[in-house]
Structure 1
Amino acid sequence: MGSKTKEISARYEDIMTKKSKLDLRENVDRKSYGTRGRLPPTSLVNEAHVYGREDDKEEWFLDLYNEETSYQERVGQVEYHETSQSDQAASL
């Protein structure tokens, strides 16, 4: 039991030394610094906060809101072809 107490005390001293070296301070006045309000629960993109790639952005939004674009065209398709090891070796 005494060795466990010494181990904990040594770890505590090590943490306090690191705290001092890093110049960390306790926030005793409980002021919040740089906190923002809670973000709204939505999957919509706020276009005002999208930066760069203006041409790509416009094309993406047109594709997303185009009624004639199918789901498969939006998401894409992955095809899987099963090949044997001998077919793979022959293609090398």
Structure 2
Amino acid sequence: MRKPVLLIDDTKESLEAIMLFQESHQEYIEYHIKKFEESCCGELPTTRAPSVFAPEGVFKGLEGVKTYLAAEKQPDTGESAYW
């Protein structure tokens, strides 16, 4: 199972996103935006922190983080649940 990546910076919103993930007991990988800028391609002009990159999609901003975590709490109600 792939873990979501939480992209953070030094803002209070990123600290709140970290706390939300910790409180949800959801496994994740934390990645500071500075590390990306230093090790790869420079700035990420269209991405803001905090953001979640997950198999389910990209969730930008603190509200996106909250949306992602709320969706992960929902039970799986896919078609296989009805067979």
Q: TM-score, normalised by structure 2?
A: 0.25
Q: Give the TM-score of the pair, scaled to structure 1.
A: 0.23
Q: Which of the two has higher C-alpha Rg? A: 1
The structure richer in strand per residue is: 2
Bigger RCO (CA 8 Å, 6+ sep): 2
